[in-house]
Structure 1
Amino acid sequence: MARSVPSFLAHKDGDFVAVAVRDVTRGEAEIGYLDGSASITLMVNAEIPLGHKVALVDIADGDDVVEYGVRTAIASTDIKKGDYVHVHNVRSARWQNSVA
C-alpha cells in the first residue's frame, strides 16, 4: 500500500503547530512528523497557504506556542485545534517585550 504524502509537517512530537507543504483547504489533513513520530489526521478549520501553520492543539490567549520543541511565539488570542496560525493570532516570542 502506498504511503500518502502529508499536507503538513511538524518538526517534533509535542509541537503545537505544523507547516503546510502545499496550499491546504479546510477539511481532513494528514500531519507528518520529521522526528519519525507516527502521522496523525487533523480537521483543518480554514484554508492555509503553503508555508503557513496549523494548530495541532488548542492554545489559550497568552500561552506559549511550541515549534521545533521550543517556544517560538505567544498566542495573542485563543486558537482552536485546526485553526490557521499566523500574525493575526500569535506574536514572536523573540521580541516579546516589543510594543505592537
Structure 2
Amino acid sequence: MSTTSSVLLFITSVCGVAILSSLFIAGSLYFDAQEFLETSLDEIESFKHYSDVAWKDMVSSNTFDRKKREDDKPCGCALAGGDGTPGAPGPDAAYCSCPERTKLVFASESP
C-alpha cells in the first residue's frame, strides 16, 4: 500500500467512527428528550390534579351561609334616606315597600 492510500484509509476510518458516534449521540439525545417530555407531562398532570383539588377546597370553604346586612331589612328601608321629617315621600319611595315616613315620624313622637 502506498502512503496516499494509507492516509485515505485512515481518514475514511476516522470519518466512519465520527458518523457512527454522531448517530449514537443523536439517538441518545432523542431518547433523553422523550424521557424529559414524558416526565414533564406527568408532572403537569399531577400539578393539575393538585390545583383542582385545592380549588375545590377553596370554593367549598367559602360557601358557608353568610348573613348579609341587607337580610335584616328586606325592603331596603335603611336606604330610604331623608331626615324623617313629614312631607312627600322621596324618590326612593317608589320601590320601597316600607310604611310611609310621615306615619313613622308621628308614631315615634307620641309619648
Would you say same fold, with TM above 0.5? no
Q: Highest relative contact order (Cα 8 Å, sep 6+), 1 or 2?
A: 1
The two structures have a TM-score, normalised by structure 1, of 0.22
The two structures have a TM-score, normalised by structure 2, of 0.21
Higher strand residue share = 1
Which protein has the larger Cα radius of gyration, Structure 1 or Structure 2? 2
Higher helix residue share = 2
